[in-house]
Structure 1
């Protein structure tokens, strides 16, 4: 992982002393507060640059910094004005902080800290709220990112914040202190993690409140994932949050906001009549970074190996009679077949043979061209096209990719898999959202299979169309939807909806309802949820901020449409962002401590920031350093720290970076050995029996009885034959179905 710190003029790091994280989980929402403590041992004032990851769906709502005993809390302001105020402050020698979102990707932030006095400590605190994703086993997943993958930038394209994300093998992991307080309307059954945890402590008799902490001395060299299990977690719920009494009347922050958690239930008779078919196009990232390990521990599998294992699971699970094709991409792209072919034993064997030979040998990460080619191909009649993208998400032009996916969503559903820690949440989750599909993040072998099967089940479901909602509230009140329209529904998948409740009830009725209507296989289906209008207690405005973030993202997407009133939309985004105190593409957090230093003259020196094995950092990571004194330029690098987990299902292809640089990722890793090669190095991962078994499966779903199959079970072929029931003829094949 990378050592987050500044460099002195002797190329010695200014160390990151500690990271303390407080996590407050309420049902499906988490509030994350992270404090990082640095010390400047330089003899001159420094300007520090952090480039750090944050979940794309999160709402950054607070930033503050403490220099010695002075604390400044940042305010949200229009981005250009904030930049000008920051520059003026630095020129005057004032301490200043500027926090802004990347123009290229909404899950990358940059924090400029200037000027940090010599021999002074700096503590920076970030607070954000985020929705917790639902896993295939109904667990809620929280991920504290430790790494931010470098983003590939093609020559001549220039780059913004994402071009400052680089990596270096130097550095030493640092410790992390994390405590999670969890509350839920339903009893908490357990909390799991790949990281060592202290015993779960229940704080009340009904087990609806609990506390858990990382074990002392935890080294933050990989993502921290927590999996929270509630009883009946998949039941529909609704939470009404009271507004802020001091906010301006009629605004979003003043009125109550409701968050609905819906789990659509499709009629069983309708689902049983659906025929499995489709055209499945698998797009594999084969850029250089896919040759990097999943994590920095012993036995780490390469990302490309994990992606191959995931793709193999999908290939072996397709229904007979469907169509498929496989693309690989890097600096260029290639396909296995000139066009999609029918799924038969012969075509599957051909594809599996080439998948096992697949390497991370195609250079950079140019994802647009293969997508444009696939979208330009004529679809096969009565075979809905499903695009499966596997990548580590090291893409520099995320917004352009998402726009392309959105423009082709009517004819192509998109299912995305983020492979390894550091995959871009903005890219992985964004492609699924814009492509009416589903996203998975793959971080370990233990959860890969259920994630793959969940995505395939969703892909085999017919597309839901004509989705609409009807809100009913008491007389005197109205409900205004804040979330973007739902564009995809799957059996049992959660959908979160936010709405602003206006007015006062003129009756004793204290309930509201929302009905979601849609068409499935030419039949109309409705799901209705009733909820209490009584506000929940002690929510801390987290639902308001997530609702504001949701509305802001909707407005930002509208800006990208042709003919959109861009200036009016931008003004509305800035207004909402400032009002709610949450980040947006058009605003920045700015804080200035007046009279704190001497005016600075001369150009900035930018020097490299070291990183350790993984690019590391949690919320704020990656620090580049600039010393202000007149001298020649020095190369600069912003620390990297891949974040997030990976969309589950198949290890996606990891992108950028032509050579396997460092991208080691921690957290749950995808440790599955190559099906064809035995491990010679004792440190390598051993073969996964399930993957060995799947590699022998035929297209029809059966296995041939031979020595290879017997070996998977640790038996000889003769031993298995002896135990075969008499009525089963030798050579007939035993049929097992996934």
Structure 2
């Protein structure tokens, strides 16, 4: 069922948000985002509305204003309870008021209360936030403007509103972006249609906007590519001239960008030990589609395929376990077991049976059980968590991960648009791991295999910073300690500078037993009139660190809270203890009439399957116009996919509408047939992947070669010959296969490779196979 939402009329018709205008300004690795939302109260009564929207977890909300008619009121940051009292007093006296606050349960969800709008009145609200841009696998920086806020599952006892339907709001979107960088901008890409880019002469500035007619039916994502991506940078930003020297906003702040480059020799080295714990979300929302386009798999289907791929890719000698969770949880084994042919087969069988049938999203209890298990000596624990991120107790989850960070690394995966950035990024950050978001038509497998590579590779550790400054100058660290960086990760480090702004920063770290040193000189005139984005992100970093301490400290809790509120008010950025409050006095006359309360949600799509009755109406109409149908029913746990082959009056123009998963994925089929040791066995299922009759494949077996060796060599040739574009997905199974073949001491290996190429119609060289 589709449910209307927004500012609703008494007839349940949406007349909420009229338009959104977004301006994005990017400076290197950070961005400032300004959004203006235009409302009109078309009801016959005064209106109070609640607008709930997501922001990136690493962002800092730093401005909020409201314009009613021609008069604009700029909000101020206050301690949260004081702000709420002022809002309530304003509403009670008939004034227009706006209250913007962070959700108590998750730092990436904000609530905007729009109070007492008279009938026919319009209001425009503007909020500005600054955010760090995340680095992608191809070295690009990603900006995302979310179109979807998923309904969050709240465990019993939490106060986050339960929202059981996804809802649609019709409004227009205007989006423009201006990008500047010390290094030249190579290109800007997006999954949405863009107007042509406009560059300056040296390509250090670019401007781009969305093409006209964008419907905001998906996240707006920009990918920024800079030249010399691994070059460390230090950017100094001047403080506020009117602020008191010695305060955070009064002094210059430096932002250090560290993005280590990993040599190829380190990239190719892999560990064979570890305890791998896979935690799979099987809540009802995992039954939604991965995206809104045609051919979309269910989230649980894609997660199942990915987990099979992970299981096949693990190294012999490691340990593993699988947890499923929803309203409750269960584990495949009582504790992690050694990775063998028997345990792998058992796990693959169970994974293929997984459905999204476990209710809500209780992630705390399975994590508590995992952390209660004794660690296995010489096998570092690596936890892989797959979820669509719909929980209401994010802060409790992050606290648990943080408390156990010394005993594990956490790799988190947000599945589908709307996954909580606070939860997904927070678990990885607190667990010294890495996060990935799988949105739109992204395939999950490449991103997950990239994280497995991180888990098996050396990481940057023992990171230290040495600040060399002249006499009379000092630095104050504003960022939490940096423990580990994986390949492809970048860190932004903030520090407050007191005194003369010059000196050097030397960053040292260990990588695969080798010490690496980077030294940066900064003798720069601080940038002025920059919007203070670096100051505000530095304040946000320090506030988050203090908030984490606050959750663990006892006697110091009130003092920490007071310091957090002080920093939040000084820097003008939001936090868990403050809110933005704006009161518009207007004419001073009370607004007459009872107040209506309405909830406004950002655009989101319903994920329920269409009712069978509606499909049968469609079928009947086809029959009535003389259409002949062959109906293919593919029964799945809760869904019935119906494929229709229509033969119209013109038989030479057939129309095929087969379900997407009828088309076989030969790559995943091949991988699922591999043994834990790395070999394949000859059989009908394998030769079906090759597209050859089994008797022909067996007949071509070279002399004195076993069926297993022949099958494994053919599988390797097939992967290199037909699936090179997907190498990131099968690289680990191929490495296992090569090791297995080498252990067989095959005498006529070159002959086997030549025969395999001839059979499969490929030209893969022996050295390309790694043999």
Same fold at TM > 0.5: yes
Q: Does 1:548 align with 2:520?
A: no
Measured against aligned partners, the alpha-carbon deviations of 1:256-303 in whole angstroms (never above 9, x if no partner) come to: 111111123568878877743100000101111111222333322212
Distance 1:224 1:721, change over 3 A: farther
Partner of residue 193 from structure 1, selected from 176, 190, 194: 190
Contact 2:6 2:169 in 1 (8 A): no
Matched residue of 2:161: which SS? helix
Partner Cα separation in structure 2 for residue 514 and residue 683 of structure 1: 60
> How far is 1:350 from its partner?
1.7
Partner of residue 507 from structure 2, selected from 504, 509, 515: 515
Partner Cα separation in structure 2 for residue 683 and residue 13 of structure 1: 36
Contact 2:681 2:707 in 1 (8 A): no
Q: Does 1:183 align with 2:183?
A: no
Partner Cα separation in structure 1 for residue 14 and residue 267 of structure 2: 60
Q: Does 1:476 align with 2:466?
A: no
Matched residue of 2:412: which SS? strand
Contact 2:47 2:595 in 1 (8 A): no
Worse-matched range after superposition: 191-200 or 366-375? 191-200
Worse-matched range after superposition: 66-75 or 560-569? 560-569
Distance 1:465 1:194, change over 3 A: closer
Contact 1:96 1:593 in 2 (8 A): yes
Q: Does 1:525 align with 2:490?
A: no
What's 2:369 paired with?
373
Matched residue of 2:256: which SS? strand
Q: Does 1:599 align with 2:599?
A: no
Q: Does 1:309 align with 2:284?
A: no
Measured against aligned partners, the alpha-carbon deviations of 1:426-473 in whole angstroms (never above 9, x if no partner) come to: 111111111111111111554534421221122123576654322112
What's 1:299 paired with?
295
Distance 1:29 1:526, change over 3 A: same
Q: Does 1:685 align with 2:660?
A: yes
Partner of residue 333 from structure 2, selected from 334, 337, 360: 337
What's 1:163 paired with?
161
Worse-matched range after superposition: 718-727 or 64-73? 718-727
Partner Cα separation in structure 1 for residue 562 and residue 610 of structure 2: 42
Measured against aligned partners, the alpha-carbon deviations of 1:502-537 in whole angstroms (never above 9, x if no partner) come to: 1126xxxx442132345x67x573432313231346
What's 2:137 paired with?
136
Alignment of 1:260-659 (within 5 A): 260-264=256-260, 275-444=271-440, 446=442, 448-461=444-457, 466-504=462-500, 510-517=502-509, 523=513, 525-534=515-524, 535-536=526-527, 539-563=530-554, 565-596=556-587, 598-599=589-590, 605-607=596-598, 614=605
Partner Cα separation in structure 1 for residue 228 and residue 703 of structure 2: 45
Q: Does 1:75 align with 2:76?
A: yes
What's 2:726 paired with?
none
Contact 2:37 2:125 in 1 (8 A): yes
Distance 1:121 1:364, change over 3 A: same
**Number of residues of Structure 1 aligned to a counterpart in Structure 2:** 675
Length-normalised TM-score, structure 1: 0.85
> How far is 1:99 from its partner?
0.4
Worse-matched range after superposition: 92-101 or 681-690? 681-690
Matched residue of 2:452: which SS? helix
> How far is 1:678 from its partner?
12
Matched residue of 1:189: which SS? strand
Contact 1:2 1:610 in 2 (8 A): no
Matched residue of 2:428: which SS? helix
Alignment of 1:27-106 (within 5 A): 27-106=28-107
Contact 2:274 2:378 in 1 (8 A): yes
Partner Cα separation in structure 1 for residue 447 and residue 693 of structure 2: 32
Measured against aligned partners, the alpha-carbon deviations of 1:189-243 in whole angstroms (never above 9, x if no partner) come to: 22222222222332x2332222222221111122111222222223222211122
Contact 2:50 2:599 in 1 (8 A): no
Matched residue of 2:73: which SS? strand
Distance 1:42 1:132, change over 3 A: same
Contact 1:76 1:590 in 2 (8 A): yes
Matched residue of 1:545: which SS? helix
> How far is 1:604 from its partner?
5.3
> How far is 1:695 from its partner?
2.8
Distance 1:114 1:596, change over 3 A: farther
Distance 1:723 1:447, change over 3 A: farther
Measured against aligned partners, the alpha-carbon deviations of 1:358-380 in whole angstroms (never above 9, x if no partner) come to: 10101111111111111111111
Contact 1:167 1:611 in 2 (8 A): no
Partner Cα separation in structure 2 for residue 252 and residue 707 of structure 1: 69
> How far is 1:98 from its partner?
0.5
> How far is 1:173 from its partner?
4.1
Partner Cα separation in structure 2 for residue 476 and residue 728 of structure 1: 77
What's 1:107 paired with?
108
Worse-matched range after superposition: 42-51 or 445-454? 445-454
Partner Cα separation in structure 1 for residue 337 and residue 368 of structure 2: 20
Measured against aligned partners, the alpha-carbon deviations of 1:371-406 in whole angstroms (never above 9, x if no partner) come to: 111111111111111111111111111111111111
Partner Cα separation in structure 2 for residue 186 and residue 52 of structure 1: 33
With a CA cutoff of 8 Å and minimum separation of 6, indicate the structure with the bigger relative contact order: 1
Length-normalised TM-score, structure 2: 0.81
Contact 2:461 2:509 in 1 (8 A): no
Contact 1:168 1:610 in 2 (8 A): no
Measured against aligned partners, the alpha-carbon deviations of 1:147-173 in whole angstroms (never above 9, x if no partner) come to: 111111234x140xx325x25355454
Partner of residue 231 from structure 1, selected from 220, 227, 237: 227
Measured against aligned partners, the alpha-carbon deviations of 1:549-596 in whole angstroms (never above 9, x if no partner) come to: 101101111101133511111111111111111111111001111144
Measured against aligned partners, the alpha-carbon deviations of 1:17-49 in whole angstroms (never above 9, x if no partner) come to: 111111111211111111111211011110111
Contact 1:2 1:612 in 2 (8 A): no
Partner Cα separation in structure 1 for residue 516 and residue 555 of structure 2: 33
Partner Cα separation in structure 2 for residue 674 and residue 201 of structure 1: 51
Contact 1:398 1:426 in 2 (8 A): yes
Matched residue of 1:240: which SS? strand
> How far is 1:91 from its partner?
0.8
Distance 1:608 1:104, change over 3 A: closer
Partner Cα separation in structure 1 for residue 109 and residue 129 of structure 2: 14
> How far is 1:694 from its partner?
2.9
Partner Cα separation in structure 2 for residue 701 and residue 248 of structure 1: 65
Partner Cα separation in structure 2 for residue 661 and residue 550 of structure 1: 45
Q: Which has the larger radius of gyration?
A: 2
Worse-matched range after superposition: 419-428 or 530-539? 530-539
Higher helix share: 2
Contact 2:284 2:358 in 1 (8 A): yes
The Cα RMSD (Å) is 3.2
Partner Cα separation in structure 2 for residue 592 and residue 551 of structure 1: 29
Partner Cα separation in structure 1 for residue 236 and residue 230 of structure 2: 19
What's 1:695 paired with?
672
Contact 1:173 1:221 in 2 (8 A): no
Partner Cα separation in structure 2 for residue 179 and residue 484 of structure 1: 33
Matched residue of 2:251: which SS? coil
Contact 1:330 1:362 in 2 (8 A): yes
Matched residue of 2:552: which SS? coil
Partner Cα separation in structure 1 for residue 640 and residue 609 of structure 2: 22
